[in-house]
């Protein structure tokens, strides 16, 4: 029986999403015979500090994005993460314990710091030969913490990201362009049909403050032919404030959901922040992406991918700016939207999770 350990972290949902999807694919590829453990080593550390880190990250990206960019750039500099050694001892111990307890045949990581921690563990435990592969969840602008420390290989979503790693000295034979691990549900979903009678459906993930989200929804509500499905996720306070404000005017408001593949496949455009997993899911669903909130740092690379590949647009600034971008997308029988959809069809890899699963199993 093959044993696969997948390390993740709850610092943004994208890392966990990637880990779960890889697990799903490995189980499918082995007819359930493989034993797969998805683990967040942070949960084995001080719970108070772990919760503070998660809350701090969420607060920074939503309310203080410029401050987060400073942190992101700092962590990308060689020596910074490495200089945090004493602060990471508890996390290192957690990773080591997971490996010793589960005895995996192969390890996959969807979070950047674990390659560094495992390199530390290997120095003290040279008999640890279990191969480690890192699944990089962002595109084109990559924090070097993802690949500064040796592992058996880096799995990336696209050639643009592979080029970044090659430019920074990662050997090409250790870079594997396999796509982003999206849910297997995307394999059987057809993209949304073009709008009928000029009626459009948009999927909106509000980023930033609730005040800004309300202003955006009021502006989008001025478009007479647009229905909105608003997803607040686990941000319950934002949902309560949107409900109190009576937005959206047309459409529905949803909290957390596990139906993202279906929702993406039944809407014409996605509006939100450019998280790595979200952008890749949108590509797979062939739903054009409008970026309404920017998290500086890792998400700037995802925005670059959207613009370079012509699959959406950056629409930050005032709510009226976003409204006008949506209106322009709809104009001339959706000419811009159709061009974006055409480009998306060339990029999607709905079976990427299977490709990654097969790759990992081949190294057992």
Q: What is the DSSP letter of 314?
A: E
Q: What is the model's pLDDT at position 234?
A: 85
- Give mean pLDDT in consecutive 10-residue pieces for the chain, a chain of 364 residues: 95 91 98 97 88 80 78 82 82 97 98 94 94 94 90 96 95 97 96 90 92 95 95 91 93 92 97 93 97 85 93 95 97 96 96 98 96
Instruction: Show the tokens assigned to 303.
Output: 């925005």
The fold of 188-347 is: Rossmann fold (3.40.50)
Domain range list for the chain: 3-182+351-362, 188-347
Measured N-to-C along each axis, helices 113-124 and 89-102 cross at an angle, to the nearest 10 degrees, of 70
CB atoms closer than 10 angstroms to residue 221 = 17
Tell me whether residue 234 is exposed, middle or buried, using C-beta atoms within 10 angstroms of its C-beta: 0 to 12, 13 to 18, 19 or more: exposed
Distance separating alpha carbons of residues 253 and 242, to the nearest angstrom = 8
Q: What is the pLDDT of residues 333-348, one digit of tens each?
A: 999 999 999 999 999 9
Distance separating alpha carbons of residues 191 and 188, to the nearest angstrom = 10
Q: What is the model's pLDDT at position 252?
A: 95
Distance separating alpha carbons of residues 268 and 1, to the nearest angstrom = 43
Distance separating alpha carbons of residues 291 and 215, to the nearest angstrom = 16
Q: Which residues, 6 or more positions from 171, have their beta carbon under 8 angstroms from its beta carbon?
A: none
Architecture in CATH for domain 3-182+351-362? 3-Layer(aba) Sandwich (3.40)
Instruction: Show the tokens assigned to 287.
Output: 């739903």
What 3-state DSSP class applies to 1? Answer: coil
Q: Is the peptide bond prior to 252 cis by the omega test (within 30 degrees of 0)?
A: no
Q: What is the model's pLDDT at position 209?
A: 87
Do 3-182+351-362 and 188-347 show the same overall fold? yes
Q: What is the model's pLDDT at position 228?
A: 97
Q: What is the model's pLDDT at position 280?
A: 95
Question: For the chain, first and last CA: distance in Å?
Answer: 10
Q: Which residues, 6 or more positions from 59, have their beta carbon under 8 angstroms from its beta carbon?
A: none
């Amino acid at each position: 029986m093959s044993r696969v350990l997948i390390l993740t972290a709850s610092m943004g949902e994208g890392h966990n999403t990637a880990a779960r999807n890889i697990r799903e694919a490995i189980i499918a590829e082995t007819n359930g015979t493989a034993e797969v453990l998805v683990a967040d080593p942070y949960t084995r550390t001080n719970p108070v500090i772990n919760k503070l880190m998660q809350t701090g990250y969420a607060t920074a990206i939503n309310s203080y994005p410029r401050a987060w960019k400073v942190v992101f750039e700092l962590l990308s500099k060689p020596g910074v993460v490495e200089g945090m050694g004493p602060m990471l001892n508890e996390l290192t111990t957690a990773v080591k314990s997971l490996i010793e307890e589960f005895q995996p045949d192969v390890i996959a990581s969807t979070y950047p710091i674990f390659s560094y921690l495992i390199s530390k563990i290997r120095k003290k435990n040279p008999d640890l030969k279990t191969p480690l592969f890192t699944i990089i969840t962002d595109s084109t602008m990559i924090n070097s913490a993802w690949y500064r420390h040796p592992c058996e290989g880096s799995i990336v979503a696209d050639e643009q990201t592979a080029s970044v790693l090659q430019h920074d000295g990662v050997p090409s034979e250790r870079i594997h362009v396999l796509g982003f691990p999206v849910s297997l549900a995307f394999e059987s979903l057809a993209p949304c049909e073009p709008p009928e009678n000029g009626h459009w459906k948009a999927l909106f993930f509000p980023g930033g403050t609730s005040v800004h989200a309300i202003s955006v929804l009021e502006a989008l509500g001025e478009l007479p032919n647009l229905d909105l499905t608003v997803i607040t996720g686990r941000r319950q306070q934002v949902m309560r404030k949107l409900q109190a404000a009576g937005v959206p005017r047309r459409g529905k408001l949803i909290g957390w959901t596990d139906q993202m593949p279906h929702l993406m496949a039944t809407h014409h455009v996605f509006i939100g922040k450019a998280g790595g997993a979200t952008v890749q899911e949108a590509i797979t669903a062939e739903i054009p992406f409008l970026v309404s909130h920017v998290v500086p740092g890792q998400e700037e690379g995802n925005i670059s991918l959207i613009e370079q590949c012509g699959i959406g647009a950056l629409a930050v600034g005032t709510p009226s700016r976003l409204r006008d971008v949506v209106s322009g997308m709809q104009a001339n029988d959706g000419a811009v939207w159709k061009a974006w959809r055409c480009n998306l069809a060339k990029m999607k890899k709905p079976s990427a999770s299977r490709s990654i699963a097969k790759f990992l199993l081949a190294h057992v």
